Amino acid sequence: MPRLTSEQSVDARVEFSSFCMQEADETFAPEEYPDGQDSDDPFLTPHEGRIDVRSGGHTHVAALLAQVWDGEPPPDGGEWEVTGESRLYSETGELSLMCYGGPTRGSVIGLGSPGGDWCVRVYSRGREAVARLAEQGVPHHVEQYLAQFWPRG
Question: What average pLDDT is seen over the chain?
Answer: 94
Name the β-bridge partners of 119: 87, 150
Domain that holds residue 128: 4-151
Residue 13: closest CA among 119, 112, 130: 130
Q: State yes or no: pLDDT of 36 exceeds 90.
A: no
Averaged pLDDT, 33-48: 87
> What residues have CB less than 8 Å from 136, skipping those under 6 apart?
none
Domain count, the chain: 1
Confidence of residue 32 (pLDDT cuts 50, 70, 90): confident
User: To 10 degrees, the CA torsion angle through 105, 107, 112, 118?
Assistant: -120
H/E element, 61: strand 60-69
Name the amino acid, one letter, at 149: F
- Inform me whether the pLDDT recorded for 26 exceeds 90: no
How many CB atoms neighbour CB 141 within 10 A? 15
Count CB-CB contacts under 10 A for residue 134. Answer: 20
We report the CATH number of the domain holding residue 121 as 2.60.34.30
Rounded to an integer, the average pLDDT of 86-90 is 96
pLDDT-derived band at 38, boundaries 50, 70, 90: confident
Residues 92-119: tens digit of each pLDDT: 999 999 999 888 888 899 999 888 999 9
